[in-house]
Structure 1
Amino acid sequence: MRSRVPVATLFSLGLSLLAAAASAATPAPTISTQSYTWKNVKIGGGGGFTPGIIFNPSQKGLAYLRTDIGGVYKLNADDSWTPLVDFADSDHWDYWGSDAIATDPVDPQRFYVAAGMYTNSWDPNNGTILISTNQGKTFTESPLPFKVGGNMPGRGVGERLAVDPHSNNILLFGARSGHGLWKSTNFGATWTKVASFPDPGTYAPDPTDSSGINSDKTGLTFVTFDSTSGSSGQATPRIFVGVASVGSPNIFRSDDAGATWNAIQGMNSSWIAHKGVLSPKEGALYLSTSDGVGPNDGSIGALYKYDIASGTVTDISPVSGSDLIFGFGGLAVDVQRPGTVMVAALNSWWPDGQVWRTTDGGGSWSPLWAWEAYPVLNKYYAYSDALAPWIGNDYTDPAIVQQIGWWMEALVIDPFDSDHWLYGTGETVYGGHDLLNWDTVHNVTLKSLADGIEEDAVLGLISPPAGPSLLSAVGDNGGFVHFDLTKAPTAAARFSPLWSTNSDLDFAGNIPSTIVRIGNSNGEFALSTDAGNTWSQNIGGTSNANSGKIALSANGTNILWSSGNAGVLLSQSGGAFARVASLPAGAAIAADRRNDSVFYAATGSKFLVSSDGGKTFVAAAGALGASTAPVKLAVHPKTSGDVWVSTDKGLFHTTNAGASFAAVPGITQAWAIALGAPESTNSYPAVFAAADVAAGSGGGVGYYRSDNAGETWVRVNDAAHGFGSVSSNVLTADPRVYGRVYIGTNGRGIFYGDKS
C-alpha cells in the first residue's frame, strides 16, 4: 500500500556571504518560549503500516507496536495506544522509522527500538538502538555503525531484535545490507559483530534498482531465543536466526549461545522465513515463509513446524494448490494452549485478507472467512469500526466488502489472555477480546483497535475562516473534513470521490466554503462549494496533471495549479486548464485572499505577481535575497499585497505586493509559514513559522509564533514534541482561535497546539 519517502531532506543551512553580511548588520531577534499543549487531531484508524506488535511475556497487559514511518507505541489498559518517540526532531526524524522492537522478559521496564528510516541516500544517518529503562517514557541512544531501514522492503519481518530470556544483559540484532548478526552484552549500550554467524543475507528484491531501495540486501529476518534451553543467569544456548537468502538453507540454529551455527534442513530454500515463533510447551518453532520479503510482494510460501528435539520439519500450510496465491506473514502462538497457532496471508488482496487458526498444531485449520458461492462470503466475524468509522467499507468489488486488511505481518495473542489478539495491516490495527469463540461458535468480534495511533502522512492542511475547523489532504487515506478535532471522522467526512492520496487543497478567501483539492494521479482534481461535504470531480477538464500545489482565487473564479508533472496550469471560470508560460515548473504559488484577479508566485529569488487572474505573471521589483528555493507563500487574510515567503535563505515579508521585501532578522532558513487569528481585533495576524533561527538568539530549528509581524518570536514546540522532519511538514493556523496552529507531519498525523 505504501512506500513513502520524505518530501525532502533538509536544505543546506549555509548562508551566502551576502546574506551573512545582511544578517550581521541586523540584530537577531530575542526568542522566548511559551508553553503549548499539543494533541493529535484524531483520525483514529492508524493510517499506515503496522509491521510489528509484541507482548511482554512477564508482565500482563504490556505490549508495544511499531510503525514504518510513525514511531512506536505502548498499549494502554483501555485498548488505546500512547506514542513514545514524539521527541524526534528534524535532526532525528529517522527515529520515526522502526525496523525492530524488543521487550525484556526478565525486567519488563526495559524496552528497545532499532531506529532508522532508510539504508540508501534518503537517510544520511546510521541506525540507533533506543534504550528505555522505564517502558518508553525516556530513551538513551546507542549508535550503530550501519544504517537501519524502518521503511525499507522487508520491514515486516522479525523481530530482528531480541533479549536473552535467561541473561537479559545480552541482546542480538539482525542487520540489513550484509552487516550480519550483532550482539550486545551490556543492555544495548555497545555492540559487536558476531563473527561466527555464517550468512548475512544475499537477497535483494531488485538488484537493478538504482535508488538503493529494492537493491539493498534485506539481511537477517528474525532472532528467536529458545527459552526452554539453558538456565537463569547464563546465556541462552539455543538460538534461531532467519536470513533473507535464496537457494540455500536460510534458517540457522545455535546450541552454544552463538559460538557455532548449523543450517536447518527440510524447508524450501527458495522461500524466506518472515517469522520464527517459539511454542515452548510444544518444543516447536513455527516458521512463516514467502517467496518475497514483503510487504507488497510474495505469491507463494508455506508454514512450517520445526520439532526442536528431533530436528524434523513439517509443512503445515493451511492452504495449497490453486488456493495458495500469496506468501505467509503474521504468525502467533497461544503460549497457554499448546498447539494453538494463527497465521495470516501476507498480501491477499482479493476478495480480502485471510487469517487461519489451528488448535492441534497444524493438523486442521479454520479460516476467518470462506466462500459459500461467489459473490457470497461466509464471514466468521462481526465487524466494528466504531473507533474509526471512516475505515470500514473502503474497497468494494460487486457485493464484496474488503475489511480484514493487507500487508498482514504483525499478529499476536496475548500471553496472559487467550481471548485477546491483535494484528496489524497496511492501514490499521485490528483484533478483539473474544478469540476463543473462534474454536466454539466460530465467530469472533473484529474491531478497529488503532485508537491513539496516528500514522498518516499529511500533505496539505487548510483552516478556513468559516465552516469546519480543518480540512486535510493525506497520503494513502485521501483526506478528511475535521468537524471535531477530538473525534475520528465519520465515513461521510472522508473525501468522496476517494483518491488514495490527496496532495493539496485551498479555499477561496472571500467564499471559504468553496474549496479545491488535487490528488497524486492524473486528472484528480475536485471542487466543493459546500465546505467539503460534496465534490465535483475534474472541473476544468485536465487529465494529464497530478500532485503539486493548488491555489484558488478569492472569489473562486480562477484556479492555479503548480503540478508535479505538467508545469503550472490555470483554469479560469471553469474552463480547461492551460499552461502558464510565464511561470516555471515547480513555482510556489498563492492567491490573494481579497482580490479575485491577483495571484502570487515565487521561484529562485524572484517574486512574481499576476493581476489578470493568473494568465500572466510579472516579476516584482522586490527580491527574496539570495534564495534559491522558495517553499511556501502565506497571504494576509484581509489585506491585499501583504505576503510572507519562506525560503532556503530565510523568511521574507512584503506589504506592497512585492515592490519591496524585508528579510526577517535572524531567520536563516524557513520551511512552512502560516497566518492565524490575531491576539486582539486590531492586531496583526499571528505568524507561525517552521524555521531555523540564528544561533545566539535562543533559537535553532523549531516552530515559532510572532504576534507583531516578525519583530519578536516565541518558540511553541518543546523537547517532547519535535514533529520529525521539518522540511516534510505542512503548517496552517486557525483564523478563529488565537494561538492555535496545526502541524501536518510525515508519519505522525496532524498535531494541533494551543497556548497552555
Structure 2
Amino acid sequence: MKLLSPIQYEYGNLKIGGGGFVTGITFHPTDSKTLYIRTDIGGIYRYDFDKSTWVYLADKVTADDPAQTYPLAIALVENDPNKLFFTCGDKRSNYICISDDKGENIIQKALPCSVHGNEVGRATGDRLIYKNGRLYFGSQTAGIIYSEDMGESWQSIDLFGEKNISLIWTDSEGKLFIAGCSGEANSPDGVTRGHTLYCSTDGLKSFVPLTAPDPVKYENSSYYGFVPQRITSDSRYIYITFASSGEVFYGGMGAYACDTGSLSGGKVYRYRIENGVTVFDKDITPKDHIPCGYSGICSNGKMLLLSTVCRKNGGDIIYTSTDSGESWKIIMNRLEYSRFDWNIPYMKPRYNGGGNCVHWISDIKLSPFDSDTALFNTGTGLFMITGLASGDVLVKPFCEGIEETVHLNVYTTPHGRNRIIDIIGDLGGFAFEDYDSECENSFANENGDRYITCLNADLTLSDPEYIVATPRGNWTGKTKGGLILSKDCGSTWERLPMPRGISEFIDQKLDNIEKPNVDSGWTAISADGKRIMWAVAGGRGFSNKAVCYTDDEGKTWQKSIFTDSSGNLADEHNVKIFSDYYNSDFFSP
C-alpha cells in the first residue's frame, strides 16, 4: 500500500480589525516604548513600536484555563518597564499574573477572590496598584486586598463592608489613597446606592467618606446614585468622573459602568489637597443636557481630556480643557469637530447609519511622551487622536494586530468565487475574497447599513453563492433582524418577508426581532436550494413551536410540525435545524 504524502497547510489570520471592547489603556510613566491595553474577552496586548502593531500576550491560553483572556486590571512599575502585573479570571480560575519581560512569559498565582474581566463594571479603573513593594487590588467581590509577597498571600482592607470596587488610586508617594465602590453594601433600600467614594491618609488603616454627588432619581433608572468611574491628577487637582446607572437588565447594583448600555447621568468633580487632606473643590461637569455618564479622564498637567459614556441620542463626546475644567471645548462629537481616517472598512460611516461607530468611551489617555497624541477605547476597538496641540485634530482607529471578535460560524465556498464567510458576534458577517486585507462591509442592506450578530448562515454545494443568514438588526435601527438572502456569495443581501400570521406565538417573536440587537434565529437551506427553513428566535433559544419554511423566498410560509415517535405533537423544546448537503428532502433538528 502506498501512503499519500501529508498535505502541507499554511495557516494565517483573516483581518477584521478591532471589533471588541477595549476596557483600559496603560502607558508606562517613564518608558516611551511600553504601552498596554486590556480587553473584555481578548486578553492583554502590548504595542510593538518598532513594528507598529499590537502583540497578543494571551497566546499560551488553553481552553481548559482561559482566565487570561478576561483581564480586569493592569499595573506597571515606574523604575522597571519590563515588569507587568495584571489580574484576570473567569470566576472558576482567578489569578494575579506577573511577568518580568513585558508579558512574554507569565507566572500565574491564585487570587483569593472571584474575578471576571467580562462582567458588568469591567470598564472602570484602575483597580491594581504596585507601590512600595505592595500590590493593591480593588476586586469585584472581596473589596480591597493587598499582598506584600508578590501575590503569594493576601490580606483584606475593610471599606465599610463594600465588596465591589470600581477604582483605587494613590499619589506618587503612596500616602494618599482613594477608592470608589458600587455603594451596594450600604444601600439604605436596595435601590439607592450608599456612599461610593472614600479617602485614606493613614496608610489604609482607616477611610473617611469623600464628597461625591448626591443620588438623583432619574426617570427609567433601575438604581440611583453615582459611582466613580475614572480618576486622574495633576500638580494642583484630582479629577474624578461619575456615572449613574440607567435601566439595568442584568448585574443588579453591580452594573455601574457602560456595561448596561444605558446610563442616566454623570458628573465630573474636582478636588484639591489641603493640609494633606483631600477636599471637594468644584463641580466641573460640562453643560451637556443629553443624559449620559462621564468616564474617561486624563491630565498631563497642561491639558485635560474627558469623555462621556453611553450618551443617548448622539454618541459620545470628547472634551478638552486647558484651565483645569473651568471651561470645556468639544473636539469630537459624532463626525464633527475632528477629521477622521476610517482605516478599517466596516467602521466607515456609510456602513453605520451615516454616523460614528464610536461608543462606550470609558477610558482616554494622553501620551506621557507626546502632548499631541492620545488614545481612547471603544466597544469596537482602540482609537488614536493626533493634533491636540495644533488644534488640527485627527481621529483614527488604532487597531493593527487587535483581533478581538467572536467567530460564531465560518463557511467556505466549495467552488465558484473562492470566499470565506465569517459570521461574527456584534459585527454581523464578512465575505472574504482577499484573505490578506480587511473585508469591506458585506453583511448590509441595500443602503449599506450593517446587520449585526448573525447566529448562523447556510449554503448549498450546488450553488454556494446562494446563502441565507440570520442577523440581528443594528443598534441604530437602520437595519432590522430577520432572515436575509444573498445570491452573489455575500456581496449583497435582501431581507425576506416575515412569516406573519402563521401563529400568535411566532408573531410575538417576530415583533421582538424588529427591535435592535435581538437574536433572530437559526436557518437551513435544502440541498437543491428550493426550501429555506427558519427556527425563529426573537430572543434567547429556538423553540420547535416557532419553526417555519418557505419554498418561494419568503413570499409564503408554512409552519413546521414536530411529532414524537408515536405521531403525537411533541412538547416544546429548543431546536436548531440542519440540512443535508445531498438529500434535499432531509432536515435534521
CA drift at 1:79: 4.5
Q: TM-score, normalised by structure 1?
A: 0.64
In structure 2, do the counterparts of structure 1 residues 497 and 290 end up closer, same or farther at CA, with 3 Å as the change threshold?
Answer: closer
Residue deviations 1:431-464, cap 9 Å, x none? 13322123xxxx3010011221112122221111
Residue 481 of structure 1 pairs with residue 431 of structure 2: yes
1:200 matched residue in structure 2 = 162
SS of equivalent to 2:368: coil
Deviation at 1:130, TM superposition (A): 1.8
Question: Which residue identity does 1:106 align to in structure 2?
Answer: N
The amino acid across from 1:436 in the alignment is A
Structure 2 spans left out of the alignment, 5+ residues: 1-5, 184-191, 216-224, 246-255, 474-479, 501-506, 511-518, 565-569
Shift of 1:259: 2.4
Verify: 1:346 aligned to 2:309, yes or no. yes
The 1:506/1:566 distance shift into structure 2, 3 A limit, reads same
Contact 2:526–2:587 (CA under 8 A) maintained in structure 1? no
1:162-191 deviation digits (Å, cap 9, x = unpaired) = 111xx2x311001113x1111011233432
Contact 2:352 2:450 in 1 (8 A): no
Query: 2:190 aligned with 1:241, yes or no?
Result: no
Aligned AA for 2:306? V
Aligned with 1:66 (options 28, 34, 38): 38
The change in CA–CA distance for 1:404 and 1:480 in structure 2 (over 3 A counts) is: closer
Q: Which SS does the other structure have where 1:299 is aligned?
A: strand
**Aligned position for 2:165:** 220
Report the alpha carbon displacement of residue 357 of structure 1 after superposing the two structures with TM: 0.5
Match of 1:451 among 376, 381, 400: 400
Instruction: Give yes or no for the alignment of 1:253 onto 2:199.
Output: yes
TM-aligned CA deviation for residue 247 of structure 1: 5.3
Cα offset for 1:92?
1.5
Does the aligned pair in 1 maintain the 2:43–2:57 contact within 8 Å? yes
2:391 is aligned with 1:391: no
Distance 1:132 1:34 in 2: 38
Counterpart in 2 of 1:271? 226
Seen in structure 2, the aligned counterparts of structure 1 residues 350 and 285 have a Cα distance that, compared at 3 Å, is: same
Unaligned runs of at least 5 residues, structure 1: 1-32, 118-122, 202-218, 230-235, 371-376, 603-756
CA distance in 2 between partners of 1:148 and 1:38 (Å): 34
| Alignment partner, residue 170 of structure 1 | 134
Q: Give, in angstroms, the shift of residue 156 of structure 1.
A: 0.9
- Give CA deviations for 1:291-349 in whole Å, capped at 9, x if unaligned: 131212322221111112353323343423x6251110111112xxx241111001114
Percent of aligned positions that are identical: 24
Quickly say closer, same or farther: Cα 1:497–1:342, change in 2 above 3 A: closer
- Would the aligned equivalents of 2:295 and 2:307 in 1 still touch at CA under 8 Å? yes
Q: Secondary structure at the match of 1:307?
A: strand
SS in 2 for 1:437: coil
Equivalent position amino acid for 2:197 in 1: I
User: Counterparts of 1:360 and 1:153 in 2: how far apart (Å)?
Assistant: 34
Change (3 A) 1:36 1:226: farther
Match of 2:459 among 485, 507, 518: 507
Please tell me the residue identity of whatever aligns with 1:538: L
Cα distance per residue 1:118-166 (max 9 Å; x no partner): xxxxx5x0421122221111211111122112122111110111111xx
1:424 shift after superposition: 0.7
Mapped to 2, the partners of 1:577 and 1:391 lie a distance apart of 38
Letter in 2 for 1:309: E
Letter of the 1:572 partner, please give it: D
Q: Which residue of 2 aligns with 1:749?
A: none
8 Å contact kept, 1:463–1:470: yes
Would the aligned equivalents of 1:526 and 1:539 in 2 still touch at CA under 8 Å?
no
CA contact (8 A) 2:269 2:285 kept: no
Provide the rounded CA distance (Å) in 2 between the counterparts of 1:35 and 1:146.
46
Cα 1:485/1:316, change in 2 over 3 Å: farther
Give the superposition deviation at 1:266.
5.9
Contact 2:409 2:423 in 1 (8 A): yes
* Aligned equivalent of 1:303, options 268, 285, 302: 268
Match of 1:576 in 2: 557
Higher-Rg member (1/2): 1
For the 8 Å contact 1:318–1:356, the answer to whether it is kept is no
Check the 8 A contact 1:506/1:517 in 2, yes or no.
yes
> Are the counterparts in 2 of residues 285 and 307 from structure 1 also a CA contact under 8 Å?
yes
Letter of the aligned partner of 1:272 in structure 2? Answer: V
| Distance in 2 between residues matched to 1:535 and 1:138, nearest whole Å | 46
Say yes or no: does 1:110 pair with 2:89: no
Provide the C-alpha distance between the structure 1 equivalents of 2:26 and 2:408, rounded to a whole number of angstroms. 31
Residues 555-584 of structure 1 deviation map (CA, whole Å, 9 limit, x = unaligned): 211123344334243323434142242487
Deviation at 1:86, TM superposition (A): 2.6
Q: Give the equivalent residue in structure 2 for 1:140.
A: 107
Supply the distance in 2 between the matched residues of 1:73 and 1:508 (Cα, whole angstroms): 39
Structure 2 counterpart of 1:671: none
**Cα distance, 1:527 vs. partner?**
1.1
- TM value normalised by structure 2: 0.81
Identify the residue that residue 22 of structure 2 maps to in structure 1. 50
* Cα contact 1:389–1:490 (8 A) shared by 2: yes
- Deviation at residue 491 of structure 1 after TM alignment: 3.2
Q: How does 1:287-302 map to 2 (within 5 A)?
A: 287-292=240-245, 293-295=256-258, 296-302=261-267
Residues 553 and 593, structure 1, Cα contact 8 Å, conserved in 2: yes
Judged with a 3 Å threshold, the aligned counterparts in structure 2 of structure 1 residues 352 and 456 are, in CA distance, closer, same or farther, namely same
2:125 is paired with a residue whose SS is coil
CA gap of 1:300–1:562, structure 2 versus 1, over 3 A, is closer
Residues 253 and 392 of structure 1: CA distance in aligned 2, closer, same or farther (over 3 Å): same
Whether the aligned pair in 2 keeps the contact of 1:305 and 1:315 (CA below 8 Å) is yes
Kindly tell me the number of residue pairs found equivalent between the two proteins.
Answer: 513
Change (3 A) 1:436 1:48: same
After alignment, is 574-583 or 338-347 more displaced? 574-583
| Residue number among 504, 524, 527 corresponding to 1:551 in the alignment | 524
1:156–1:349 distance in 2 versus 1, CA, 3 Å: same
| Structure with higher RCO (Cα < 8 A, 6+ apart) | 1
1:598 counterpart (581, 585, 589): 585
Residue 565 (structure 1) aligns with = 542
Distance in 1 (alpha carbons) for counterparts of 2:125 and 2:373: 21
State the AA in 2 paired with 1:518: T
Kept in 1: contact 2:14–2:436 (CA 8 A)? yes
Separation of aligned partners in 2, 1:444 and 1:493: 31
Tell me what 2:13 maps to. Answer: 40
Distance in 1 between residues matched to 2:212 and 2:530, nearest whole Å: 69
Question: What is the CA deviation profile of residues 687-740 of structure 1, one whole-angstrom value per residue up to 9, with x for unaligned ones?
Answer: xxxxxxxxxxxxxxxxxxxxxxxxxxxxxxxxxxxxxxxxxxxxxxxxxxxxxx
Letter in 2 for 1:471: I
Deviation for aligned residue 1:277? 1.5
Q: Take 2:456 and 2:443, find their aligned partners in 1: how far apart are those partners?
A: 17
In 2, Cα distance between equivalents of 1:504 and 1:479: 10
Task: Give the Cα separation in 1 of the matches to 2:558 and 2:36.
Answer: 49
Counterpart AA for 2:485: L
How far the C-alpha of 1:354 sits from its partner, in A, is 0.1
- Partners of 1:395 and 1:329 in 2: CA distance: 27
The letter of the residue matching 1:237 is K
* CA pair 286-35 structure 1, distance change in 2 beyond 3 A: farther
The letter for the 2-side match of 1:578 is K
Q: Supply the AA of the counterpart residue of 2:297.
A: L
Summarize the Cα distance change of 1:301–1:35 in structure 2 as closer, same or farther, 3 Å threshold: farther
Question: Which of 65, 87, 94 is the aligned partner of 1:92?
Answer: 65
